[in-house]
Structure 1
Amino acid sequence: MKKYYFLLALLFSSLLINAQERYFLNSDTRLYTSANTSADFLGYFKYGAEVQLLSESKNGWYKVKADNLSEGYIPEKFVAKRLNARDIKVRDNENPLIEGDDNYYGSNHLFILVASLKARSQPDKNSRIREILYTGDPVPINYLPKNQEEWVNIGGNFNDEYSKFTLRKFVGKRPDFNTLLKDFDKLDVNNSTERKTIGERIVELAWNSDNATLTPAYQRYYEVVKQINDPKLIAETELNMAIAKGLAKHKKPEEILAFVKKSEFILKGTKTKSWYLTQKDLVKTFGKPTKKATVSDECGIYLSETFYYYPDLEASVDEEKNQAEITKVFINENNKLVLNQNATLDHSLTEKAFIEKYGTYIGASIKAPHSYSIQIEDSEFRIEFKDGKIFTIEIFFYC
């Protein structure tokens, strides 16, 4: 009989551990090393954190797994299958995690403290790199370990598809731009290694701040790259300094819209009305498409879910209505975009010349180098450069 009960308990425990039900914390709490609030603790949970139950409740406590795979104990009273507005949150004033009320992120979070951080797919330095993150990026965190050398899940949940891991020491309160500038200015001018490290953080934080911070950030970083004397890095930094100069004098939305109001593609000598033409004219100019496909369009932003693909362009086509909408054009000697009578983007346009001419009209991001946007009402042109020359122009429609 004892053996029967023992096997039954094992079965229950196995079912509990492998259950697919999700459990959340309805309050701040901590992950304790044993079932006692006087015990040492491993880290901090914030309201809304998901946990996996590893045991049934015993004396008012559960053994659980946090989203960074750490195991410990939490009070049963804080575990719920769902959250609701009536939850009475007990806040932990020592918890370093920030709630979603600081205008940077909508849920529990901290910020990346270092430059070009590799977020891993598993809590293992040899696991796949899932994303590169930048100084000042907010990241969702629901459980924060105390140990600076432990891993933290910055994906916000247990889902393997979204989980991202980094070390605890690389996240914290949002860095202060002016403090970083002062830290840089205090360094020995001959300490190029440390100056480069701080300079990279300053530049990345500037991209995550007001456009006005980009110029002072790049001025300092440029000092370092000239000191290192890397020609490729110098050219790249000079280009970014030109982008910063344009963004500091960015045009108002109405000025940008007026600038591109009459824009149209010219494809093999055929003018489009904005970026529309008939399906018959499309086939007459480019022939039968090399590929036809159906693209799911849940937002209803395209003319049709039928797409024609050519070596030169891509288009959404409504065959019944004899309509075609250009979505992407490869810029070459046959294809160009005329923004207005004084501004044409053709195959001779270099990235440097583009920035110098149109830098005050564009959007840019450190996360998408050599790619720029120009707003056009409910959509935007996305302009990509390759090897210093214009490569493609895509019309990106807002959902």
Structure 2
Amino acid sequence: MKKYYFLITILFCSVLMHAQERYFLNSDTRLYTSSNASADFLGYFKYGAEVQLLSESKNGWYKVKADNLSEGYIPEKYVATRLNAKDVKVRDNENPILEGGDNYYGGNHLFVLVAGLKARAQPDKNSKIKEILNTGDPVAINYLPKNQEDWVNISGNFNDEYARFTLRKFVGKRPDFNTLINDFDKLDVANITERKTIGERLVELAWNSDNTTLAPAYQRYYEVVKQLNDPKLLADTELNMAVAKGVTKHKKPEEILAFVKKSEFILKGVKTKSWYITQKDLVNTFGKPPKKAIVSDECGVYLSETFYYYPDLEASVDEQKNQAELTKVFINENNKLVLNPNAILDNSVTEKAFVEKYGTYIGASIKVPHSYSIQIEDSEFKIEFKDGKLFSIEIFFYC
């Protein structure tokens, strides 16, 4: 009985040891169904992939778990507790995973092939959606299953906080814009469903590509939207087309800075100096703050770690120096931003009018609809709209 207990203790300690250490692959290899190089395999590992050991080494093989939770076998010689520049990588020419250095992603990766891809918290279709990805987005992949219907971890990480999963069939080499254009143009006009699918991919890929691709992408997608005759989709698309038109003709940085150089907020009739105001004027205008908090500022970009929160605005306040720095202003009948004498952003400004008038000055992304940015030296205005009306302007400071 004592020997049996001793054996269990050894096995437990061994498993615990493996659980505490992290293991990486110092070469490309495959996840085999058995401990035999001639056996069938489940998928491809790329250099740098992390694995979890499920057994002791046996005849030069480990049983392991890949980051998509698949289990199989890999050669012991490729397992290491750390990676270094002297590693002699054996490349698998059949491995579809791309290495870093292609101007899109710095590490092992592939690209999203479909529009509006749902990345889930677990390899389960009913699992929580953690992120929506667009066609052409690069995703980190260290292990790629061979079966197109298997799940792949597109975070390259075992950690539950970061892990994201999708099906293998939705990732691959970066889609080619011209190929998608040709695929769209070959379709019968009556094939609305397929035209919409490819049209959505075209638009998302265009936002992930050179701005010159936005016009031909929206030209085709808009044809389908008009066929669908959905008023909301039509309005959203026309707004996005206006955004894309402005982005395509984006002003030079020096032109943008000149445009906003003398920007100032007006709060209940009180003018600020850019986005600065004295603490005394702030309190005299808005009263004592309903909420005060200390906010950690690791970058040191704010005036102070003391923040005042009002229904109308948020500010970093140095009480000893009688200074306040606006960080966010909610636009209403009391508050507005004067970019220059000819450009005033108040509560009468609609999103459509803003985009049409200032589209060449703004930064925008299809991933964050109704939100725009205007660069101001080492920071930027983040301008948010809700229900078509100007809602808030945040001063975002670069770290």
In the TM superposition, residue 255 of structure 1 has moved relative to its aligned partner by 0.5
Partner SS for 1:55: coil
The match for 1:246 is 246
| 8 Å contact from structure 1 (residues 290, 309) kept in 2 | yes
| 8 Å contact from structure 1 (residues 16, 55) kept in 2 | no
The match for 1:358 is 358
CA distance, structure 2, for counterparts of residue 95 and residue 133 of structure 1 = 24
The match for 2:8 is 7
Question: What are the residue-to-residue correspondences of 1:105-254 with 2, within 5 Å?
Answer: 105-254=105-254
CA distance, structure 2, for counterparts of residue 50 and residue 248 of structure 1 = 41
| 8 Å contact from structure 1 (residues 16, 53) kept in 2 | no
Partner SS for 1:273: coil
CA distance, structure 1, for counterparts of residue 15 and residue 244 of structure 2 = 58
Partner SS for 2:30: strand
- Tell me which stretches of 4 or more aligned residues in structure 1 moved more than 6 Å: none
Q: Percent identity?
A: 84
| 8 Å contact from structure 1 (residues 264, 274) kept in 2 | yes
Cα deviation 1:238-286 (Å, max 9, x = unaligned): 1111111111111001100110001010100000000001111110111
Q: Where does structure 2 lack aligned partners over 5 or more consecutive residues?
A: none
CA distance, structure 2, for counterparts of residue 160 and residue 43 of structure 1 = 22
Quick one: structure 1 residues 5 and 104, their matched pair in 2 at CA, closer, same or farther if it must change by over 3 Å?
same
Aligned length: 398
Question: What are the residue-to-residue correspondences of 1:243-392 with 2, within 5 Å?
Answer: 243-392=243-392
Partner SS for 1:385: strand
CA distance, structure 2, for counterparts of residue 291 and residue 160 of structure 1 = 34
CA distance, structure 1, for counterparts of residue 381 and residue 60 of structure 2 = 58
CA distance, structure 2, for counterparts of residue 7 and residue 314 of structure 1 = 60
TM-score w.r.t. structure 1 length?
0.98
In the TM superposition, residue 330 of structure 1 has moved relative to its aligned partner by 0.4
Determine whether 1:33 maps to 2:33: yes
Quick one: structure 1 residues 337 and 10, their matched pair in 2 at CA, closer, same or farther if it must change by over 3 Å?
same
Cα deviation 1:328-376 (Å, max 9, x = unaligned): 0000111000001111101100001101110000000011000000000
Counterpart AA for 2:136:
G
| 8 Å contact from structure 1 (residues 16, 56) kept in 2 | no
Question: What are the residue-to-residue correspondences of 1:388-399 with 2, within 5 Å?
Answer: 388-399=388-399
In the TM superposition, residue 215 of structure 1 has moved relative to its aligned partner by 1.1
RMSD: 1.1
TM-score w.r.t. structure 2 length?
0.98
CA distance, structure 2, for counterparts of residue 271 and residue 48 of structure 1 = 56
In the TM superposition, residue 4 of structure 1 has moved relative to its aligned partner by 4.9
